[in-house]
Structure formats: structure tokens, C-alpha cells
């Protein structure tokens, strides 16, 4: 059973949804904003389908490079945060150019996501995600860091 969102969470989810879909992102998972509190549903979030030039990649557990994605989750302190993951290899298994880590964005004092602060990051992460070659990422991960 999922928890329904509070009014504040619903408004926050809808603002993020409108912001990201206007940039060409799509909703991931089976739920629309308002159907569930996104932080309680690990499949709910958004992805940038133009990642890797729009190439379809089969998802194989921790092996497949991640697409540019965003979701609500809980930070180390247990508070809900908004997270963006740039496209690349998770877990620090490749070179600095291809590695990626989650970026956590705490809510503002009024409980919103600072979309104006995130927009400049997406301005650089979206073109990078489009240009990345998934084959190069996989080779980097399994055959050693690039340029060795």
C-alpha cells in the first residue's frame, strides 16, 4: 500500500513534473503525480529519454550505465529530498569522466524544490547525457578507466 501525498507533497511533485516534462523528460514508473507520495515508490520518478542519443539499452542490474534521471527519496538524515543522477556509471567503477553519483537537493525553507537552482545543472547534464556513448561507458567500467 502506498501513502497518498500530502497537499504540499502533491504540489511539489506537480511543479517538478511540469518543469521536467517541459524539458523533454518523461515519467518513469506506473504512477502519475498525485497517485502516490513519490518518495514511497522507488519506481516513481523521471528520466531523460534523450540520454545516449535516445539509444535503447537493456537494463541489467548494476551493470547498465544509468540515464539522466530524477526522483524524490530520503537523505541520510531521513528527510525527503529531490535527487538528480547525471548519466554515467554508478559506484565509481570507471574514470572520472564516466562516473556519476546521485546529487541530493534538500527542499527550500518553504518546502519546495529549488528548480531555478537545478535548471543550470540540467543545462549542462542534458547535452552530456545525449552525447555519451553507452558502449564506451561499459568498456570503461569493465576494462578499466579510460586513458590508462
Read off the pLDDT of residues 63-75 as tens digits, 9 standing for 90 and up: 789 999 999 888 8
Collect all residues with Cβ–Cβ distance below 8 Å to 71 and sequence separation of at least 6.
28, 38, 44, 45, 46, 82, 83
Confidence of residue 1 (pLDDT cuts 50, 70, 90): very low
Flag whether 148 is in a domain: no
96: in domain: yes
Angle at alpha carbon of residue 101, lines to 137 and 119, rounded to 5°: 105
Residue 148 has pLDDT above 60, yes or no: no
Query: Is 32's pLDDT higher than 80?
Result: no
pLDDT at 33 over 90: no
Mean pLDDT of 133-139: 89
Enclosing domain of residue 107: 7-142
The CA distance from 3 to 40, in Å, is 7
Residue 1 lies in a domain: no
CA 66 to mean position of chain CA atoms? 9
State the pTM of this model: 0.86
> Among 13-17, 20-24, 39-43, 89-93, which is the least confidently predicted range?
39-43
- Count the domains in the chain: 1
Could you tell me if residue 81 is inside a domain? yes
Amino acid at each position: 500500500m502506498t501513502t497518498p501525498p500530502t497537499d504540499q507533497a502533491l504540489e511539489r511533485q506537480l511543479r517538478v513534473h511540469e518543469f521536467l516534462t517541459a524539458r523533454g523528460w518523461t515519467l518513469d514508473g506506473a504512477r502519475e503525480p498525485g497517485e502516490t507520495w513519490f518518495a514511497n515508490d522507488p519506481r516513481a520518478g523521471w528520466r531523460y529519454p534523450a540520454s545516449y542519443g535516445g539509444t535503447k539499452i537493456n537494463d541489467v542490474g548494476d551493470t547498465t550505465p544509468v540515464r539522466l534521471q530524477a526522483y524524490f527519496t530520503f537523505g541520510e538524515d531521513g528527510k525527503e529530498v529531490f535527487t538528480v543522477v547525471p548519466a554515467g556509471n554508478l559506484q565509481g567503477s570507471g574514470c572520472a569522466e564516466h562516473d556519476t553519483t546521485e546529487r541530493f537537493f534538500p527542499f527550500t525553507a518553504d518546502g519546495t524544490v529549488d528548480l531555478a537552482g537545478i535548471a543550470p545543472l540540467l543545462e549542462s547534464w542534458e547535452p552530456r547525457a545525449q552525447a555519451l556513448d553507452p558502449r564506451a561507458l561499459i568498456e570503461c567500467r569493465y576494462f578499466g578507466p579510460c586513458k590508462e
